[in-house]
Structure 1
């Protein structure tokens, strides 16, 4: 399933944030990646770990889908039958149980990005 892999993107962004002297092009990529993650965070939703359902919950989040559709950035979910869905609840329960469809993984990356941005801006002055 061709898609943006959000958890893997957060890990790559962590690596880029660790580079001591990123080029201007790399800085632009870092800003763009962090901006994408920030814009696509899901608030007020909770992924229930036992029931494996997405539930409304005030104050919950941020949360991200594991995969986002290319070009539209909509969350997408695949099942063993090869079908793609836009609603995780359409995926078979067995597949919902066996896969991390939603993640909080990018949250610490965005916190690191904020520190990187502040430190990098201070160093550039």
Structure 2
């Protein structure tokens, strides 16, 4: 997820301004609030399945204003359920990712170092 990569970069800055610290807190908060738990992206079947204790996962794309996961297909349509996307597109794209999880762990260490000064 591109958001996690950007947050990783921001976390690496040695002396972030108060404004940047607020942005980092906001980004980490958004990621934490939008984590999907108890769901598993099955790598062979390419479907989202209920699984107790699974996750966290994040959708690759979210709709502005609602933050609902969104999915596109070659027909140009927008879908809110990944299972509506053609199998070819489900197989050819990583619709869900675990990528932000280690970023949020790095954020916890960063937050301890900066002591929530800009929250």
TM over 0.5: yes
Distance 1:119 1:93, change over 3 A: same
Give CA-to-partner distance per residue, 1:57-108, whole Å, 9 cap, x none.
Answer: 0000000001000111000000000000000000000000000000000000
TM-score between the two structures when normalised by the length of structure 2: 0.96
Q: Which runs of 5+ in 2 are unaligned?
A: none
CA apart distance, 1:124: 10
CA contact (8 A) 2:8 2:103 kept: yes
SS at match of 2:62: strand
Structure 2 partner of 1:115: 109
CA apart distance, 1:119: 1.3
The runs of at least 4 aligned residues of structure 1 exceeding 2 Å deviation read 122-125
Whole-Å Cα distance in 1 between the matches of residues 22 and 7 of structure 2? 12
TM-score between the two structures when normalised by the length of structure 1: 0.92
Whole-Å Cα distance in 1 between the matches of residues 6 and 97 of structure 2? 16
CA contact (8 A) 2:19 2:118 kept: no
SS at match of 1:42: coil
Q: Which runs of 5+ in 1 are unaligned?
A: 1-6
